[in-house]
A and B are shown apart, each in its own frame.
Chain A
């Protein structure tokens, strides 16, 4: 089975078709566009710092290079930890039944660095799972869109608007203690703003 999220709860499988949903799909978006003297949209290019070459769209590539400048193809790459321990590939979970864990505490979902949201369309839905979701239960399951080296975590939940899978990576927060203080930054800064206003120039 492909292109389906399949979960197993109490021995019964539920199959969901899925679509990604983001802020743009719900509310639209704004972007700022630079216009030339004729009122036509400008395109963006990059000038090398020494001014020797103007890089237009399509003139660059990107890839992985060894310290001695050797290019490695994607298929030749391996993954490992900072300690040098080799990591196995994690297969895609798409179309592969995943055990649901839970119901879990709603607070668990708050520890997720959210990366993707999918709205789910049940092709088959186990009655027991439907009852749990309708009652507000939240479940956790392993999710990996493509085969790679790190699986993500997904949470399954429902509300009046449908059934959703929220996918991301868990974050660990450290306890704040009286004797451990942080220094107040001097200036306003923000390096993590997921802004909906695109600056298209």
Chain B
């Protein structure tokens, strides 16, 4: 499964082109089923209006177990079991009523400890890479071993040519990096010093190009990182429960 986008990129000589960038995914997980028959994972209605615990407590008191046995008030027979497919999102007020006017939106920043740091009006963050602005080859190279031990690369885009000219363009980049066994940092913005932001309000990423060459074939990968490999403060990590 892949998703493709356009990517504007320039090389060490400041020559630029728009090429294809594909997000390559690992093989899908196994099919789940019974007796060789595949199943589908679906969402369904489990409770009707007014049948949640808080509703029943409000109507029947906290100790309503006998009422459940006597009259099944928790089961809305007309809707329970119905599959949920397409839905529309509705905002509810704190009182649980649908909101019929546009909400006020605030952007809240939280620190690593979960504490609120700042609350402000949201601002739009434009992309720093676009058809007008290329991701630029900075010339700052790093051995692959150093890069993978310093940064966590959570996204990778495979860069592919769209014609013969861009084949030469990308092949040359891949070969230079493969020959030197290094990755090169890409920059963005007018001066090429900003992080890569690939879409409006997207995350800023450090982007490193990695190249592989086999004869006349190449693989050119843009590895994206928004996180260094660091240990969080004492309270930052999450305990894991097998």
Residues of chain A whose beta carbon lies under 8 Å from any beta carbon of chain B: 2-3, 18-49, 52-56, 58-67, 72, 76-82, 84, 86-87, 92, 94, 106-107, 109-110, 113-114, 117-119, 136, 138, 145-146, 149-150, 157-159, 161-162, 164, 166, 168-178, 181-185, 187-197, 201
| Seed contacts A37-B101, A172-B24; 12 additional CB < 8 Å A-B pairs | A26-B228, A31-B107, A33-B107, A45-B91, A64-B33, A72-B34, A80-B31, A171-B26, A181-B160, A184-B6, A194-B154, A195-B201
Contact B84–A48 (Cβ < 8 Å): yes
Are B106 and A190 closer than 8 Å at their CB atoms? no
What is the chain B residue whose CB lies nearest that of A61? B46
A13 to B29, CA, bound (A): 31
Question: How far in angstroms is the closest Cβ of chain A from B234?
Answer: 10
The residue from B44, B91, B107, B160 contacting A182, defined by CB atoms under 8 A apart: B160
Given contacts A34-B103, A60-B45, A176-B220, contact A169 B144 (CB under 8 A): no
**In contact, A2 and B242 (Cβ under 8 angstroms):** yes
Known: A38-B94, A41-B94, A61-B43. A161 touches B30 (CB 8 A): no
CB distance from A22 to the nearest CB of B (A): 7
Chain B residues 195 to 242 lying within 8 A of chain A, measured CB to CB, are 198-199, 201-203, 210, 212, 214, 216-221, 223, 226-232, 236-242
Chain B neighbourhood of A19, CB < 8 A: 237-240
Which of B101, B144, B149, B210 makes the CB contact (< 8 A) with A159?
A: B149
Measured CB to CB, the residues of B under 8 A from A are 3-6, 18-20, 22-27, 29-49, 52-53, 79, 84-94, 96, 98-99, 101, 103-112, 117, 122, 130, 143-150, 152-156, 158, 160-164, 167, 170-171, 198-199, 201-203, 210, 212, 214, 216-221, 223, 226-232, 236-242
Residues of chain A lying within 8 A (CB to CB) of residue B122: 32
Say yes or no: B25 contacts A34, CB within 8 Å. no
For B212, what are the chain A residues with a Cβ–Cβ distance below 8 Å? Answer: 107
User: What residues of chain A lie closer than 8 Å to B25, measured between beta carbons?
Assistant: 113, 171
Report the bound CA distance from A153 to B51 in whole Å.
44
Residues in A whose Cβ lies below 8 Å from that of B239: 19
A-B contact list, 15 entries, CB within 8 Å: A25-B232, A34-B103, A36-B91, A38-B93, A40-B94, A42-B93, A61-B44, A64-B40, A80-B31, A106-B147, A110-B153, A149-B30, A157-B229, A187-B6, A193-B203
